[in-house]
Amino acid sequence: MSFSIHSEADTASNYSVTWIRRCLVWLFVLVTFSVLVARLAWLQILDPDFLIKEGNSRVMRNYSFEPARGVIEDREGKLLAISVPVKTVLADPKVMHEQGVVDDAGTMSALAAALDLPVDRLAHLVGDPARREVRLKRYLSLKEASALQGRKIPGLRFIDNYQRVYPTGAGNAHLVGYLNGEGRGVYGVESGFNSYLSAEGGSREAIKDLKGNIIEELSVRQEGKVGGNLVLSVDNRLQSVAADELERGVLENNADYGTLSLVDVQTGEILAMATYPSFDPNNRERMDTTNARNRVISDVIEPGSTVKPLVALAGLEQGVVNWREVFDTRPFIVDGKTMRDSHAMDSGTLADIIRYSSNTGMVRIAQRLGHANITDMLARFGFGEETGTGLPGEERGHLNATRRFWSELDQATLGYGYGFNITNLQLVSAYATIANGGVRLPLSVLKIKHPPRGVRVASERHVRAMATALEGVVQAGTGSRAAIDRYRIAGKTGTARIAARGGYGNSYVVTFAGFAPVSNPRFAAVVVITNPKVKNFYGGAVSGPVFSSVMAHALQLYNVPPDR
């Protein structure tokens, strides 16, 4: 009987314990659930910012972008410089080592071929497993980059970039210039207008997927700036002809180098500017930087006989000469040095002195004028100052107008272009001024809508008479090889010794400067060829034919009617 009572008591006790345990479990579950619900309510309803921030941090990204640098075009819309979208390939050597890429000869060989790198060079670049980033290729075309991305090689990363391309290559290289490794302009327009052409990077916020693709643009955090576009005054059709003809002239005469400039007389726009030898800005590996200098604006020369018309204009202005006077042009001595002509004549008028390039006649005029009147006229025509094109590296030249002592010989040689130096571009500006009736216009390397206002620097009457005398140089004088069928051409030859240590050597710089057509001038051009090594090395024979060919193309291309 006692056994039965004990069993019922135990059963009741066990039931009580079980009930308490159940209550405690349910209480725990209820409390936990309540805490979770409360926490969820707090995070999602009362204070959702934390979750939103955490979620966004996993899908929202700030990314930088840089717009393309501005394009450069010629006056007819021909592209001279453009930025092409490409990819830059970066590598994470640590990942490549960890994933076994470096040890996989097949993968390394394929990667080297895709990047156009020697395998040993690639191995060297990714050889340090401690490095986290190294650039393998700066410019890889989008097509090649897409193919490489398809290989899914661990450790590679691709970023957007631009490559500067110059469609006309060497033809416009000196004028346009190129970019250095940091993306800044070097030489030419790229350098002179670098700040205008340059783009400024910006940053944006966007939602990206796991692969980094942009799903949605959200906001602009920093505005970028697109590079400005430039339209140059140069006409690539004429530039191409000028480059080819100049190359021919230099090679045929076995010269060191040459320069050519062509200007629109009516606007001051530079239509062609060529230097030979040139270089290809698209091929940096084989580029000879000694040929990168734009000699049209950076090389100074003693112009020789090409400045005789300006000295004569000073004489006409001062009234010390006239067109009727007959000068004694026989050789004579100045300061122990004999003044003589290469085209000897006993006497001649001012027109004869210009036509046959008489040094003795110009010395007599210079002696009457004095150095101050000559250098004043040269300065008015722009010698000794920059032309205002904005191109870097332009030399001002030296007139030596402030020198304290001028010997009798110094003053004499000043009359036929020695004792000072100028650039090709300054000389073409001077001849454009003569063609324009004595009104000097600033030169421009950019295409302009309205011609600028010029400044009169010499009497129109004297300048028009000088243009007629310069026409005689081409018709029957030293510049006959610059003639063009059916057009009246005015111009002047120049052959000057190149200064060397202790005096002058046996090398020459030969020039032809002129304009056309005489009846209504449209273009002026100057051809300078340095150190031709041929028997007939004079300016008319060497530079004249180059002038004739380029000027003929310009007149025909712009439909200028013949005037002869």
How far apart are the C-alpha atoms of 474 and 492, rounded to whole Å? 8
Question: Which residues make Cβ contacts (< 8 Å) with residue 154, sequence separation at least 6?
Answer: 95, 96, 99, 101
Question: Which residues make Cβ contacts (< 8 Å) with residue 393, sequence separation at least 6?
Answer: 187, 293, 294, 297, 298
How far apart are the C-alpha atoms of 281 and 294, rounded to whole Å? 13
How far apart are the C-alpha atoms of 538 and 495, rounded to whole Å? 6
Q: Decide: 306 and 417 in contact? Cβ < 8 Å.
A: yes
Count other Cβ atoms within 10 Å, centred on residue 110. 15
Token readout for 224 is: 């970028």
Token readout for 67 is: 């717009």
Residue labelled with tokens 């500006």: 429
How far apart are the C-alpha atoms of 548 and 512, rounded to whole Å? 10
Token readout for 343 is: 């085209």
**Of 384, 454, 425, whose CA–CA distance to 233 is shortest?**
425
Task: Give the C-alpha distances (Å, rounded to integers) separating 11 from 4, 5, 15.
Answer: 11, 10, 6
**Of 494, 448, 456, 503, whose CA–CA distance to 473 is shortest?**
494
- Tally the C-alpha atoms within 13 A of residue 256's C-alpha that lie toward its C-beta: 11
Amino acid sitting at position 194: N
**Of 484, 509, 367, 341, whose CA–CA distance to 427 is shortest?**
509
Q: Is 109 a catalytic residue?
A: no
Q: Decide: 537 and 498 in contact? Cβ < 8 Å.
A: no
φ, ψ dihedrals at 417, nearest 5°: 90, 25
Containing 525, the helix (H) or strand (E) segment is strand 523-530
Token readout for 474 is: 């081409």
Catalytic residue among 83, 305, 357, 358: 305
Q: Decide: 532 and 253 in contact? Cβ < 8 Å.
A: yes
**SS3 label, residue 536:** coil
**Of 514, 467, 489, whose CA–CA distance to 323 is shortest?**
467
Residues serving a catalytic function are 305
